Chains A and B, each alone.
Chain A
């Protein structure tokens, strides 16, 4: 499809398990973002990729969270030893490019999200 695709749409796991969430951005978009959204809250930034490299991972809550984008397209968010507090909707977004110049609006195109529930 033409939009951002995220899988799985829903994931239920047990505390302590490992999970992977996948994001397939819009073709040609070099910038990819992961956000986390808790119930009743706005999205919170986790990590940003420009191409293959993680340009900013300052939003990752701790070292149990890791993300990769090996070929500059599909990205995987990996969560080890899941905890109940990790339960949230994980949103992926892409944009044509990223930058701080005024010509770059930073408009994001979001996927539908992956709802993670840790029991």
Chain B
């Protein structure tokens, strides 16, 4: 079963705009990761934030983590058409070795 929820389910934005998606999870975690999946392809790791971190940046990506609310957000700045994909959060529980994925947010960036 999936541990997390993501919202929105789908997001459509204009090229150049920012895209923000949110993720909630249920148990205490070691870290939270975000993955990207292009249509018909496998998942690709984007960024990881540890439970003792609150914010992390990587290029145009910004991730926040609020362990008190068991939630995370992913911000993609200055979006491009090539950012069109589904984005999944995955939590790694403190006492487990396997990742639990959310249902994903489908992002469409219009040129």
| Interface positions of A (Cβ within 8 A of B) | 4, 31, 33, 35, 40-45, 48, 55-56, 91, 93, 98-100, 102, 104-113
Contacts and interface: CB of A to CB of B under 8 A. Distances in A.
Given A42-B2, A91-B43, A112-B41, A106 B101 contact: no
A66 to B, nearest CB: 18
A102 B42 contact: no
19 contacts: A42-B102, A42-B104, A43-B101, A48-B97, A91-B42, A98-B97, A100-B94, A100-B95, A102-B30, A105-B48, A105-B92, A106-B31, A106-B33, A106-B92, A107-B33, A107-B45, A108-B43, A110-B43, A113-B42
Interface in B1-28: 1-2, 6
A41 B102 CA distance: 8
B77 interface: no
Given A100-B30, A105-B48, A106-B33, A33 B98 contact: yes
A108 B33 CA distance: 10
Nearest to A111: B42
Interface in B47-75: 48, 50
Contacts of A43: 43, 88, 101
Contacts of B104: 40-42
Interface string B85-111: 000101010111111111110000000
A107 B88 CA distance: 13
A44 B14 CA distance: 31
